Each structure stands twice: as C-alpha cells, then as structure tokens.
Amino acid sequence: MFSKNFIFTLLLSLFVLGACNSGGSDDVPQQSQPAETESEATASIITTTFVLEDFIQTIGGENVEVTNLVPSGGDAHSFEPTAQQMIEIAEADAFVYNGAGFEGFVESVLNSLQGEGILTLEATTGISLRQGNEDEHGDETADEHEDEHGEEATDQEHVEEEHAHEDADPHAWLDPVFALQYAENIYELLLELYPEYENEFTSNYTDLKDALETLHNEFEEMVSTADRDQFIVSHAGYGYWEDRYGLEQIAISGLSPTNEPSQRQVQEVIELGESLYMDHLYVEQNFTPQVAEMIANEIGAEVLYLHNLEVRTDEDIETGANYLSLMRGNIESLKQGLNE
C-alpha cells in the first residue's frame, strides 16, 4: 500500500526518534506494517462529511472502520486537516470526499497522496451538479444567462471563465435521489477494497437504496401538501430541493456559511421576507449566524432548524442520528415552516 519512499521516510523518522529516546527498547516491529505513532489505531477509511461517514458505515457494517476528519459541530467547508491527520489519511485504505468544491483542502491532500497507493473517491462522481449562484437570490437570471451563450461547451476553460461568478453547488447529498448515487459509488469502492465481504455489503446497500427511495417519496408527499414553496435559510445549502421538489431557498449567506452577506443582500432578504409574510426562518444545527437572528427579529419570524448533514452535533452522536433520521427531521421541520 505504501510507496518505498514513504516507508523509507517513516522508518527513518522512527529510527531518529528511537535514537533520541536512549532509554527505549531496541525492539522494532517485525511486521511489514509500520509501527503506530502515538495516535489511535488507523481507521480503514477516512472521510470529510457526515453523510459520507454514515453511508460508508451503513454499507460497510462491522467490517469497515470509518473516521470523519471534521469534528462534531465543525464547519466542513472551511476545515483544514492537521499534520497528524494528513499522516492518518496516508495510512488509511481509502480517502472519500464529496468534491464539487466542498472541501477547500482536498487538492493538497490528493497531491500529497499521489503514489501512496491509496484509493480515493470523489463521492459526487456521476452526479450532474447544479450551479449555485453566489450573487443573486432569485435564479431566473442564472438560467437565462447560461442560455444566452448558446454555444457548445467545447472549450472547458472558456466556459469556466464565462461563469466565473457561479460555482458548482456541492450539497448534492441533500437530494435523496442523488444520495442514491453517493451510496452506489461508496458500495463500489467497498467492493473494490474488501471483496471478501461482498454479500454483506450488497445486502446493506440494497436496504439503504430502499430506504432512500422511501425517503424521496416522503419528501414529495410533504411538498405536495405544503402551503408555501419558499423558505429563508441561513446558508445556501438547499438548492437541490429546488431542482427535485420545487422548494425555493432564500439564502442569507452563500454556498459556504462563511461567505458573509453584504448589507444590500441582508436588506433584500428582509424585504422579501416581509413581502412574502414569512413567519419562519431556518438556521442550521452547527451554526447560527447573528445576521440570521437579526433578520428573524426584524421580520418577526420564528427560528426553526434544518440539518445540512455536513457534520453531526454532540447530541446527534448521543442519539445515534443518521442520514435517514436527520432527513426525516428536515421533512418535519419543513412541514412546520411551509404551512400556515
């Protein structure tokens, strides 16, 4: 699994450490596996997002160990791994990330993993990503803008340049139908890594697939009986619900919660919220921006919660919350916010 260079560097550093530690024993482990550093035993698969951790564990079952780099309650968008975590990634069997620009640090991790023989998976592979629009709250303009060009996308660079103000929306897992693609990608990775557990993986994957299809039906049902189809939310994580279910988010900050809204944008949300008589406003499980509270006060809206599935809170961990239970919580919360 490790390149010669990597093992050589590791052994060299162990040797140096050993030499400094004069009282230490001279025993060197005989196995080919490098000795553990002071960290915990290495996990088999490392990931960056709660939904990925959950799907890997659900399909992998007892035979797979998964570690999420981002601590509970953290922000997966702006997270940076420590040097120790970089070593843990290099020692794992696989590194699974969302991609689509979600993890700002991922390029440097992939570069440093080159030649280490570690499997990597971009979980959004095969999903047609929507374009998030950082600048506008409405998105008619985004659609028209794309149509205007009308040319074949022959020159990738040219297209990227033209749409420099738009970014791919990485939050595809919040759409249960796209979540099926995540599950399939993860299932295939696990088969490649540990073919000996194929029967168990297949059975778990089939169960998850069924559950996601049921969840999709529940989502459709909730939307079909809702009075409203618009909601105000603190960060623009829920665009995929617009494409799939026709629910329009009015987001206070951009695709990443650390993209602060301008004064003008805040004013727009307040005016929109007032003109639409919005009586609820959503914040998220891991982050309640002050500006969201201020807007809620301004328009007299009750604050409700949505779960972005990016990270769990400590409470989620205590209650054993998973993708399915948290998404059902979102459906319940939307029932409340979208009905008079």
The footprint of Zn ion (CB under 5 A) covers 237
What is the nearest approach in angstroms of Zn ion to the Cβ of residue 303? 18
Nearest to Zn ion of 55, 238 (CB atom): 238
Return the C-alpha torsion angle 98, 100, 105, 108, nearest 10. 100
Residue with tokens 């307040």: 270
Nearest to Zn ion of 91, 284 (CB atom): 284
What is the nearest approach in angstroms of Zn ion to the Cβ of residue 34? 36
Nearest to Zn ion of 81, 237 (CB atom): 237
The stretches of the chain forming alpha helices (DSSP H) are 4-20, 50-60, 83-91, 106-113, 140-149, 156-162, 176-193, 198-224, 240-245, 263-275, 290-299, 314-319, 323-337
What is the nearest approach in angstroms of Zn ion to the Cβ of residue 168? 12
Nearest to Zn ion of 237, 273 (CB atom): 237
Nearest to Zn ion of 253, 265 (CB atom): 253
What is the nearest approach in angstroms of Zn ion to the Cβ of residue 76? 7
Residue with tokens 């900050």: 253
Return the C-alpha torsion angle 312, 317, 321, 323, nearest 10. 40
DSSP SS3 for 168: strand
Nearest to Zn ion of 76, 89 (CB atom): 76
DSSP 254-317: -SSTTSPPPHHHHHHHHHHHHHTT--EEEEETTB--HHHHHHHHHHTPEEEEE--SSS--HHHH
Which residue is nearest to Zn ion, using beta carbons?
A: 237
Instruction: Please choose, from the candidates 262, 266, 312, the residue with its C-alpha nearest in 3D space to the C-alpha of residue 286.
Output: 312
What is the nearest approach in angstroms of Zn ion to the Cβ of residue 325? 20
Amino acid at position 32, single letter: S
Nearest to Zn ion of 121, 174 (CB atom): 174
What is the nearest approach in angstroms of Zn ion to the Cβ of residue 314? 19
Residue 257 to residue 251: CA distance in whole angstroms = 10
What is the nearest approach in angstroms of Zn ion to the Cβ of residue 237? 4
